[in-house]
Homo-oligomer: A and B are copies of this chain.
Amino acid sequence: MADSRFFNLLGPLRLKELAEITGAEIAGNLDLDRSFDDVQALDDAGETHVSFLDNKKYAGAFAESKAGACIIRPEYVDRAPPGMSLLVTSEPYLGYAKVAQRLYPTSKPSAGISPQAMVDPRALVGVGTRIDPGAVILSGAEIGANCIIGSNSVVGSGVTISDDCRIGANVTLSHCCLGHRVILHPGVRIGQDGFGFALTAAGHEKVPQLGRVIVEDDVEIGANSTIDRGAGPDTVIGAGTKIDNLVQIAHNVKLGRGCIVVSQVGISGSTEIGDFVMIGGQAGLTGHLEVGSGSRIAAQSGVMRNVEAGATIGGSPAKPMRDWLKEVAFVERMVKNKSK
């Protein structure tokens, strides 16, 4: 069970409720009233726990698990231990997410502005929003309903935040507009000047950065990530895009909808990225590129050219994944042959 100092466990769910929540079909032990009180990993689960199998690496742990119920793909039904209730679906991880959300619901924030928050009288704060001690809301900021603004965060002048957003502690926002249900983890920086200088032999002249950052609905951004505002056009993070920790997004970048950007990625200025693009950890993209929708960029890639929609690329400089893997194998083989 999750540590009760940090998490509130709601109460037991019956097998029939689990089937409803997950949209799965039931197999194995079919007792619809069987009761489950928690989620748990395959290894540690017991009689009253719900577990899941998504990564085939853990198929062995599944076969030996003592979990009372498990969310699995159809092909694993035959390998289940006896007595286990099975929730069969093509998307077991999604099913697990929904069960866990139900057992550990996100509590609605207790509304109220802490007397130790510092809210400028010319700022607007919506109904049901909680502002924690030490948070600073500057003049002209507008915060929607049912938001949380974490302790010691700073919401700059003129910033707008829509409803149901959760801004972590120690976040800094300026020159930006946030959509609905945006989640920002601690230490995120949004809206500071882009890195724009006219370079001369005598010194570097600062170029005013006159755009904003637009963060659309349902975006989540990880701890200590940085998103610079546009130089003239806006920097845009599309709806439903999820960004991990310590990611850098430079000025004028457009990220499409539903992208996944893993930790420590860097995207240089004015690069435009389509929808549902996946970018692995520590990959770097140079500026002024176009990256097509549905493409996948491997971890640590160094992307210097446009990427076609649906392509999978890797390496530095990045190329089609197959070509890169062939090159890696070629060099390896050449050296091994020589050593014989």
> Residues of A with Cβ closer than 8 Å to B?
2-3, 5-7, 39-41, 44, 55, 57, 91, 93-94, 96-98, 100-101, 104, 116, 118, 132-134, 136, 138, 140, 150-154, 156-158, 168-172, 174-175, 183, 185-187, 189, 192-193, 195-201, 203-208, 210-212, 218, 220, 222-224, 226, 228, 232-233, 240, 242, 244-246, 248, 250, 258, 260, 262-264, 266, 268, 276, 281-282, 284, 286, 288, 299-300, 302, 316-317, 319, 323, 326-328, 330-332, 334-335, 338-339
Contact = CB atoms under 8 A, between A and B. Distances in A.
A157 B8 CA distance: 13
Contacts of A260: 197, 199, 204
Nearest to A300: B302
A150 B154 contact: yes
A94 B218 CA distance: 39
Nearest to A101: B208
A57 B288 contact: yes
Nearest to A250: B263
Nearest to A211: B2
Contacts of A206: 97, 101, 220
- Copies of this protein, total: 3
A39 B232 contact: yes
A212 B3 CA distance: 8
Given A185-B193, A222-B226, A151 B154 contact: yes
Nearest to A325: B317
A204 B239 CA distance: 11
A196 to B, nearest CB: 8
B140 A132 contact: no
Contacts of A169: 136, 154, 156, 172, 174
Given A98-B205, A134-B136, 17 more contacts: A5-B140, A39-B232, A41-B233, A101-B208, A133-B136, A134-B154, A136-B151, A151-B154, A170-B187, A187-B224, A195-B242, A203-B218, A224-B246, A246-B266, A264-B264, A330-B334, A330-B335
Contacts of A91: 198, 200
Nearest to A4: B158
A5 B158 contact: yes
A338 B101 CA distance: 52
A30 to B, nearest CB: 25
A334 to B, nearest CB: 6
Contacts of A264: 248, 264, 266, 284
Contact of A195 (B136, B189, B245, B250): B245
Nearest to A175: B6
15 contacts: A39-B232, A44-B233, A97-B196, A97-B197, A101-B206, A104-B210, A152-B152, A152-B154, A170-B189, A195-B242, A203-B218, A204-B260, A206-B220, A223-B228, A327-B331
Residue in A157, A186, A198, A332 with the greatest tally of chain B CB atoms within 10 Å: A186
A326 B330 contact: no
Contact of A248 (B199, B245, B316, B328): B245
Given A206-B101, A206-B220, A226 B187 contact: yes
Contacts of A138: 132-133, 151
